[in-house]
Amino acid sequence: MGCGRVGATLAKEFQDLGHTVAVIDQDREAFRRLGADFNGQTVAGVGFDRDTLIEAGIERADAFAAVSNGDNSNILAARVARETYGVKSVVARIYDPARAEIYQRLGIPTVATVAWTTDQILRRLLPSGSRSEWQDPSGRVQLAEVHLHPDWYGEVASIIEKNTDSRLAFITRLGEGIIPDEHTVLQEGDVIHVLVDEKNLLATEKALSQPPGERA
């Protein structure tokens, strides 16, 4: 929902990845941002309106991103997608970071406009594997963003190091970076960043994609 710069970029990136995409916006002129190569569906309407969502295919959607220019509209649309239609992967962009924690507690991952890019939003909706964020000149040591199996949430963050050959560098939580200590507990929505030897990266991804304690 939302066909501004971020929404249009997301739509085209999803299409390039082979996904079927539908874009909702109240302004038909906004669809021009999609360009002539976009072959997905465009629906003019309010993003939290039931008829509009159904026309866009919400009942068979695997993911929903609310990235319009209004906080309230984004949150409302994201909650409808999650709570009414059971869409599992939902994210809402907000302009007021102070409200992020409230929405996070409602089960809606929220992203702050300044701190999040289209690439980060896309990875929240389609998490798979890891993304290298930095590597030393030799290419051996990598700082990677990795994704957790939901069963890790509620565990002490240090369990990551006990279950993998990696070091937990930091956590991005509600758009802000935190250095974990022995008391830090993993929460839903956390973005995990680890330092890992390149040769151990695939094993680390595999271990974290499974419940804790199921390391092969």
How would you class 53 by CB atoms within 10 Å of its CB: exposed for 0-12, middle for 13-18, buried for 19 or more? buried
pTM passes above 0.75: no
For domain 130-208, the question of CATH label 3.30.70.1450 is answered with yes
Task: Report the share of the chain in percent with pLDDT over 70.
Answer: 86
Domain ranges across the chain: 5-125, 130-208
Average pLDDT for the chain: 86
In the predicted structure, residue 132 carries a pLDDT above the cut 80: no
- The reply to whether 130-208 shares the fold of 5-125 is no
- Tell me: the pLDDT tens digits for 67-83? 998 888 998 999 999 99
Which of 198, 209, 215 minimizes the C-alpha distance to 163? 215
| Topology of the domain covering 5-125 | Rossmann fold (3.40.50)
